Amino acid sequence: MISLVFVLFINQAFERYSVSAHSAALAQAYTASANHVDAIRFNPAALSTINGNHLTAGYEYVLSGIEGLHNINVGFARPLLNGGIGLQISEFGFSEQKEQTITMAYGRSLSKDFKFGISTDIYFIDNNRTGTAFSYGLSFGLLGKVYRKWSLGAYVHNLNQPCFGTFQDGKLPYELRAGLAYRPLDDILSEIDVSMIEDEYRIHSAGEFKLFNMLFLRVGMKTNPTVVSTGTGILYKFIEVDYAVEYIPDLPLTHNVSTKFNF
């Protein structure tokens, strides 16, 4: 079991460094509809639409905490200079390896229907066998309204393919994402994304429903590997509490909880 967890960890490290309960419930089908602090990770261009200040904190109990596997993140976003900025700090790891990431992002509207964003990740890695290392990644995103209630998003993560020291296994691949979101009503959202990491393609699909102006119901699914997720959120005045659970066949459940403050 320890070796299985280690393989999963190496293969998915930095993919999950700032996954909120909201995005986890949607199977990360979020490129064209990300908002608030979540835009820092999924599409910084969406920071240009932010209103007010947003503070989040979350904890992900990955694979039910096998070998202490966890993901902790805090983030902040607010409007600035005809756009929006965001800062997120996270730690993802277990007893063999821990990785901290500081992400800074900025998004700006270039026109009414077209937005652009950039971000940089500063990575710190502490491995019991190889020691510590440092690197940084560069990313950018695009967001546009293509037709009435349809939005199209694109995101390139780690464009410069960060590398930790001289270790060949320490090179992080770039990630490409594209998503199409449809919002027929303010309380209903659906999205489908395609992502690619090292020539491996994944399909992400999700739906979200808002009831009574305070209760969110979310469901999602992604491929390679197959992951089914669901979750809920409760909004009361300026506080939102979200919960998500992910199911991967033959593996323990992953639980995720996060809190958002809007002020």
CATH code of 2-262, in short, is 2.40.160.60
CA distance 196 to 201: 5
Q: Tell me the pairing of strands 54-61 and 70-80.
A: antiparallel
Write the single-letter amino acid at 1: M
Return the residue matching tokens 């593996």: 251
The pLDDT tens digits for 61-117 are 888 877 778 889 999 999 998 899 999 999 988 777 888 999 999 999 999 899 999
Whether the Cβ atoms of residue 88 and residue 58 lie closer than 8 Å to each other: no
Residues of the chain with pLDDT under 70: 1-18, 165-170
pLDDT in the model for residue 132? 84
pLDDT of residue 195: 96
Distance (Å, rounded) from C-alpha 109 to C-alpha 145? 12
Condensed to tens digits (0 to 9), the pLDDT of residues 42-63 reads 999 999 999 999 999 999 988 8
Among 140, 107, 100, 136, which residue's Cα sits nearest to residue 37?
107
pLDDT at res. 6: 44
**What pTM did the predictor assign?**
0.88
Please, what sign has the CA dihedral across residues 143, 147, 150, 152?
negative
What pLDDT sits at residue 250? 87
Q: Report helix, strand or coil for 112.
A: coil
DSSP-assigned beta bridge partners for residue 144: 114, 152
The per-residue pLDDT for 17 is: 59
Contact of 112 with 151, CB cutoff 8 Å: no
